[in-house]
Homo-oligomer: A and B are copies of this chain.
Amino acid sequence: MSKKKGDKKAKSGKKKELEGLSATDLAPAITQAARSMRTALSRSLGESGLYAGQDGVILILAEEDGMTPGQLAIRLGVKAPTMTRTIGRMEAQGFLERRADGTDGRLTKVHLTEAGLQTVEQIGRSVSECGSIAAKGLSDKEIRTLLKLLKTIEQNLQSEHSDDRG
């Protein structure tokens, strides 16, 4: 088991051979960083009675109330079934409520309740604070670079999945 792996054959062929060099560490690195972030955020969010994953729903709804589960799922980058169940829990918790759309019977509109509205500020604070803690010691430029790189790899992974040729 050698730590250095230079013998990986590139299946794409004409690309740079250096490509897969450090990329091997990318998946573990981002996984662990995200785990730490999720845990930290979860702790902070706990004060509001929320779980990590629920914060985004409230934040988006605070900006635009009455979105459908599908729209929320797309905005948050999760799958529809995930959103359905999360909404169900949050509804039971009293943070939001579902209402049927009058014109289209297939649609469900999600609305923030009074209790949900009251959490918005605290959530914003938690997310912001969590980001600040994580970014401690990093310059503004570095943060922007990180944000840009994260978006890039996300798009790369998404487009790979959608298999959008032509």
Residue among A127, A143, A150, A154 having the largest count of chain B Cβ atoms under 10 Å: A150
**In the complex, A4 has a CB within 8 A of chain B:** no
Q: Looking at the complex, which one of B23, B62, B142 makes contact with A149 (CB distance below 8 Å)?
A: B142
- Residues of A in contact (CB 8 Å), total 71
Interface residues of A (CB under 8 A from B): 1, 5-6, 8, 12, 15-16, 18-41, 43, 52, 56, 62-63, 76-78, 124, 127-140, 142-147, 149-154, 156-158, 160-161
Residues on B with C-beta less than 8 A from A20 are 128-129, 131-132
Instruction: Given A37-B30, A150-B33, check contact A23 B143 (CB 8 Å).
Output: yes
Cβ contact within 8 Å between A31 and B34: yes
The 7 A-B residue pairs with the shortest CB-CB distance in the complex, in nearest-first order: A34-B34, A23-B131, A26-B131, A36-B157, A134-B153, A32-B77, A33-B150
The copy count of this chain in the complex is: 2
Q: Looking at the complex, which one of B41, B135, B156 makes contact with A136 (CB distance below 8 Å)?
A: B156
Instruction: Given A143-B26, A145-B145, A161-B40, check contact A156 B130 (CB 8 Å).
Output: no
